Amino acid sequence: MSDLRELYQEVILDHSKHPHNFRAMQDASRSAQGYNPLCGDKVTLYVKLEGDRITDVSFQGTGCAISTASASILTQVLKGKTRDEAEALFERFHDLVTGHGEPDGKGPDLGKLAVFSGVSKFPVRVKCATLVWHTLRSALSGSEEVVTTESAVE
Amino acid sequence: MATAPEVAKPLARPISQPAFNVVRIREDFPILKEQIHGKPLVYLDNAATTQKPRAVMEAEQRFYLTQCSNIHRGVHYLSEQATRAYEDVRVKVQRFLNAGEAREIIFVRGTTEAINLVANTYGRKNIQAGDEILITAMEHHSNIVPWQILCEEKGALLRVALINDHGELLLDEFEKLLNPRTRFVSVVHVSNVLGTINPVAQIIKMAHRWNVPVLLDGAQAAAHLKVDVRALDCDFYTLSGHKLYGPTGIGVLYGKAALLAAMPPYQGGGDMISSVSFAKTTYNVIPYKFEAGTPNIAGTIGLGAAIDYLNGLGFEAVGAHEQELLAYAAQALSRIPGLRLIGTAKEKAAVLSFVLDGLHPHDVGTVLDQEGIAVRTGHHCAQPLMDRFGVPATTRASLAFYNTKEEIDALVKGIQKVKEILG
């Protein structure tokens, strides 16, 4: 498979064209905004928590195929996870897209997130894939500040 | 004896010029032979920076190999040579812009620094609370933010003249915004996103009726149009060397001598003083008052070589080739289903911004890059302009005289590939 086909896998394109959980959430426990000033991508992430467990996640915004698909898949994989599980998943995902992780390394199973493996060959696109995850971290920590890809260290 | 007929006089250029030989010209730019991802480089990001002809690199290298020395202070041979080479470029720039005097040419890092210099000196001295500064809706962030900072500091108001759907300035609306409180006008000559060539001569006339000075941001104009600051009667003109086939880190501020002389200094340091004591410092005369510290000597010399190169080609030939390419590209792109050009002004430089239905520019840029095609994607440092057209970002192909129709064809094929991959 060419690098491009690996980056833009069908699953990613499907999610970017028909994103899941693409809606505002009136009764969200937490929400946060993420922004990539270099390409203008904007995402608002809504999280509903029951105790330590994420019971619902949704998002709105505009972005490229990678950032939209990343947000869409994030909302699917996080439902039912605890905060610690979400954080562990981000670390694993981060390793995947930056090409740092071991394929069979420790940590939670990436599941659907594995479709983003092609991102590691496109270093400038890492920020597209991780924007929503940084935004999640901000939502869970209750930060008021807009997350930008320029303040997050990849 | 009768006077010789006009035709007998030697002409600066032969009457019938050979056709613009782009193949030969490309030989002067070594980078154009590079392969990117195994494909020949198609460089269409000239509005971001232009490639450099060998002559520019050789001039910089020659300075470091045989002339390297500081300027304006040594009595030794090398310093004298370096000073002469540096000051020769000032005269070259003066002629390039048709300025009246060489001392009206200030060397800076680039357009951004030139605008900041004017905002910090002329602006700080002359703008008061309640005053207005007028810009347009198509400015680059570098011609918005310095004025915003000044307005915030002074309690002044930044006003914005609007544009139509083609990306043309609404000149009537612009004129209506001029009023007794207007103290400064700062306008882009050629838009980096839209390619629009603004009617700067009319803008300047209108502003001068109110005795308001005008700065032109020439970052995108100077490489594509013959600029004549005296014919335009502009008060300040700015340009960046690296967008003019020269090195990065060198640029020019032109200012009318009387205005420059009355302005306070920008940065303090060596070379900008005539005498210093702990009680009082007397500033140097222009242009040196605005050139504190050791300047970018090699860059300046490189800029001189770039100007020589461009003059050698001639703006007429460059302009004709670029306009032909622009027309060809605009036609080819507008035939692509789902593609919308952003910026369709009648007077336009060779910049093509576009959006593709349902596809984000960032993805478009990634696929094109894999085809060896370098374009810019994003907001192009003009976020208010993106808002005006209701798009988060665009893909931009910006052309130079070394581009070819074959490269436009490659872009069109690349866009088809984009649709194939992302469609």
- Domain regions of chain B by residue span: 18-44+314-422, 57-312
Q: Please name the residues between 310 and 369 in chain B that touch chain A, using a CB distance below 8 Å.
A: 358-363, 366-367
Cβ B221 vs Cβ B197: under 8 Å: yes
The three-point CA angle B270-B98-B160 to 5° equals: 80
Helix axes B77-97, B297-313, angle to 10 degrees: 40
- CB-based contact (8 Å) between B51 and chain A? no
Q: Please name the residues between 128 and 157 in chain B that touch chain A, using a CB distance below 8 Å.
A: none
Q: Nearest CB to A39: which of B362, B370, B421?
A: B362
Tokens of B182: 């207007």
Nearest-Cα distance to chain A for B407, in Å, is 22
Q: Confirm whether B18-44+314-422 and B57-312 share one CATH topology.
A: no
Left (φ > 0), alpha (ψ -120 to 50) or beta: where does A112 sit?
alpha
Beta bridge mates, B239: B252
CB atoms within 10 A of CB A61: 21
Strand B373-374 and strand A147-148: the pairing is: unpaired
Beta bridge mates, B108: B251
One-letter amino acid of A138? S
Residue-averaged pLDDT of chain A: 90
Band of pLDDT at residue B10, cut at 50, 70 and 90? very low
Nearest-Cα distance to chain A for B408, in Å, is 22
CATH topology of domain B18-44+314-422: Aspartate Aminotransferase, domain 1 (3.90.1150)
Assign 3-class secondary structure to A117-145.
Answer: HHHHHCHHHHHHHHHHHHHHHHHHHCCCC
pLDDT at B8: 43
Nearest-Cα distance to chain A for B40, in Å, is 18
Residue-averaged pLDDT of chain B: 94
CB atoms A39 and B361 under 8 Å = yes
- CB-based contact (8 Å) between B416 and chain A? no
- CB-based contact (8 Å) between B373 and chain A? no
pLDDT at A135: 96
Strand segments, DSSP code E, in B84-191 are 105-108, 132-136, 157-161, 182-188
pLDDT tens readout for residues B131-179: 999 999 999 999 999 999 999 999 999 999 999 999 999 999 999 999 9
Helix axes A126-141, A65-78, angle to 10 degrees: 40
When pLDDT is averaged across residues A2-31 and rounded to a whole number, the result is 94
Band of pLDDT at residue A106, cut at 50, 70 and 90? low
pLDDT at A40: 77
Contact residues on chain B for A8, CB-CB shorter than 8 A: 363, 421-422
CB atoms within 10 A of CB A117: 17
Cβ A74 vs Cβ A132: under 8 Å: yes
Band of pLDDT at residue B2, cut at 50, 70 and 90? very low
pLDDT at A103: 60
Contact residues on chain A for B386, CB-CB shorter than 8 A: 40
pLDDT tens readout for residues B177-231: 999 999 999 999 999 999 999 999 999 999 999 999 999 999 999 999 999 999 9
Tokens of B412: 């069109």
Assign 3-class secondary structure to B196-238.
Answer: EECCHHHHHHHHHHCCCCEEEECCCCCCCCCCCHHHHCCCEEE
Closest residue of B to A124, CA-based? B366
Round to whole Å and give the CA distance between B350 and B323.
Answer: 7
SS3 B158: strand
Distances (CA, A) of B415 to A145, B123, B197, B375: 38, 45, 27, 12
> In this model, does residue B55 exceed pLDDT 80?
yes
> In this model, does residue A74 exceed pLDDT 90?
yes
> In this model, does residue A102 exceed pLDDT 90?
no
User: Is B68 designated active site?
Assistant: no
Which of A143-152, B49-58, B230-239, B306-315 shows the lowest mean pLDDT across its residues? A143-152
pLDDT tens readout for residues A118-152: 999 999 999 999 999 999 999 998 876 777 766 65
The three-point CA angle A30-A35-A39 to 5° equals: 155
Which of B96-100, B271-275, B414-418 shows the lowest mean pLDDT across its residues? B271-275
CATH 3.40.640.10 fits B57-312, yes or no: yes
Q: Which domains does chain A have, with CATH numbers?
A: 3-144 (3.90.1010.10)
pLDDT tens readout for residues B322-374: 999 999 999 999 999 999 999 999 999 999 999 999 999 999 999 999 999 99
